[in-house]
A and B are shown apart, each in its own frame.
Chain A
Amino acid sequence: MDNARKLLMIAPEKCISCGTCELACSLAHEGEFRPSKSRITVYRFEMGVTIPMTCFQCDSPACVAACRTSALVKNTESGVVTINSEKCIGCRMCEMACPFGNIAYNAVTKTPMKCDLCGGDPECAKYCPTHAIEYVPADAAVSKKKYEFSAKMAAAIGEGNK
């Protein structure tokens, strides 16, 4: 794996709500096609509006702050919040702490389920047919987001000036 920090960039406007990411994720992590065991969830709102949601790999993660056994660790190099399931004692503090509900506890396997970016090769991005989920270097992702946001703002201002 290269050293450049990479992250998942999700573009909801490109999402066609097919749910392939959920299937790819649950297959890779649990060995079965089961969206409820997926680390990414596609929220389907009114027609045409869908948002895939997964862990943001926060800079100061609430789950890590709540974990008493260091089973959850923020990897400073890759930026990923990783789980060592052998160190989990099943207290579910991480689940309660995450402000975005992006960790769920799996009582069968006795380990929390959260996105681990598949160790650097995320299945969801690989199989997304419309590139709504992309795995890109952090710099490119950030600048692209900034560009899109400023374009949006420019358009809004332009509209206001009319």
Chain B
Amino acid sequence: MTELIEITIDGRKVAVEKGTKILSAAKELGIEIPTLCHHEALPPDGNCRLCQVEVVERGKRKLAVSCMYPVRGPMEVFTNTERVMDARRSVIRLHLNRCPQATILQDLAREYGVEPLDERFVAEHDDLCIRCGRCVRACAALGNNCLGFAGRGWDRTIIPPFDEPPVGCLGCAACAEVCPTGAIKVREEGNIREIWGREFRLVRCTSCGEYFATKEQLEKVDSCGVEVSEICPHCRKRDEAKRMKIS
């Protein structure tokens, strides 16, 4: 049996399995910790630093990133001390400096009372990417691994291999779906979907003629052992109803 450890978060006790991350333990108590890069389906990466909390463990008091920090022994966690708020405010300020247009950051800045940035430091570009890596992890979860980090410091970016249109991409746009700031753009016009500089020709429903998916998406579903047809979901449903009508 797995070992249960009792910890205290904001004065409330909770028993969690050894190795549980503080963020999940807090969630069990209904204590909300703000996050940007965390996604329930994806492994934690600790990139955005927004979920910092104060941990008192073995006589030491320190800031920790709650999505990555495992419960290994008895500890006390504080999620809303002045030190935590200060840390979150500076994280929000840094993100906002990079992406002043991101509405999610503007909302956070308002909520946490982050001072407006000195105009000398505001970036003069419309970058929306906070380098949280959700897209990288989502693509990896699908088994495609088309995205990765490149560069360091301010020049760190997320690109497909060699910054070329990604060969293994399905055009499913899951990366855009999980992006917290809407930085990844998908263009769809007629029978063309464009993402990461790659154009996909969409498959036409053999029943109604609507363009509904990329060939690569259907092949991927097929590789999961599911037989797919080139009929769009709408027509499949109608066809099934028709079959029921006849039987």
Q: A residues engaging B (CB < 8 A)?
A: 12, 41, 43, 45, 49, 51, 53, 62, 65-66, 68-71, 84, 86-93, 95-104, 110
Contact A86 B237 (CB under 8 A): no
The reply on B217 being an interface residue by CB < 8 A is yes
Shortest A51–chain B CB gap in Å is 4
- Of the listed residues B170, B217, B221, the one surrounded by the most CB atoms of chain A closer than 10 A to its CB is B221
User: Which residues of A have CB within 8 Å of B41?
Assistant: 69-71, 86-89
User: Which residues of B have CB within 8 Å of A92?
Assistant: 172, 174, 213, 217
The reply on B240 being an interface residue by CB < 8 A is yes
User: Which residues of A have CB within 8 Å of B141?
Assistant: 68-69, 89
* B-side interface size class: 35 or more
Contact A96 B240 (CB under 8 A): no
Shortest B41–chain A CB gap in Å is 4
Contact B238 A43 (CB under 8 A): yes
Contact A96 B42 (CB under 8 A): no
Choice from A69, A99, A104 contacting B229 with Cβ under 8 Å: A99
The reply on B29 being an interface residue by CB < 8 A is no
Q: B residues engaging A (CB < 8 A)?
A: 39-42, 138, 141-143, 170, 172-174, 176-178, 213, 217-218, 220-221, 224-229, 232-238, 240-242, 244-245
Contact B143 A110 (CB under 8 A): no
Contact A91 B225 (CB under 8 A): no
Shortest A114–chain B CB gap in Å is 11
User: Which residues of A have CB within 8 Å of B235?
Assistant: 101
Shortest A20–chain B CB gap in Å is 18
> Given A89-B178, A93-B220, A45 and B242 touching (CB < 8 A)?
yes
> Given A101-B237, A102-B237, A89 and B221 touching (CB < 8 A)?
no
User: Which residues of A have CB within 8 Å of B178?
Assistant: 89-90
- Closest B residue to A107 using CB positions: B177
Contact B40 A86 (CB under 8 A): yes
User: Which residues of B have CB within 8 Å of A95?
Assistant: 233
Contact B220 A49 (CB under 8 A): no
Contact A91 B233 (CB under 8 A): no
Choice from B173, B176, B236 contacting A100 with Cβ under 8 Å: B236
Choice from A12, A66, A98 contacting B244 with Cβ under 8 Å: A12
Contact A62 B226 (CB under 8 A): yes
